[in-house]
Structure 1
Amino acid sequence: MQQTLSPDRVRADVAELLGCDPAEIAPEENLVDLGLDSVRIMVLVDRWRTAGAATLDFADLAEQPELGHWTALLTGGAA
């Protein structure tokens, strides 16, 4: 997977769909428990594929719906 997304971008995109401030999301929180449903996860997949994460798919995110995991997956680094 090509890592072209910044940790700030990942956090901001998730926060936008949750309708909260990016700083309110802890890296280890379960995003599904915070209200992120499968439709919104697919919105993120599409958005991030367009931004360069060409091989990203729904299962990559649904398997471990935590901001820290997603950030590491998409940026190649730590949250």
Structure 2
Amino acid sequence: MDFDHITFLASPGYASTQAAVLVLTLGFIAFWLPRGASEATQTFYWKFATLLAELLVAGGVIGLLTFAGRAKIESN
């Protein structure tokens, strides 16, 4: 059986670690991205970021990553 990065996502611990790194990295980038923009642009940006965050929480980042890993194992 082949093991690759996606296959390891079947483990909830590994998926949690990867999700934490992903969320922290994207959060850091999202926090620094709107610096220097106009106030109207920043307002739109933060409203869009809030909507995106709500969708990610509702979908469950860790659950989606674990599902991808288990689907990869089943396909192998």
Look at both structures and tell me which one has the larger radius of gyration over its CA atoms. Answer: 2
Mark yes or no: TM-score above 0.5: no
1 or 2 for the larger relative contact order (CA 8 Å, sep ≥6)? 2
The alignment's TM-score, normalised by the length of structure 1, stands at 0.27
The alignment's TM-score, normalised by the length of structure 2, stands at 0.28
Task: Identify the structure with the greater helix proportion.
Answer: 2
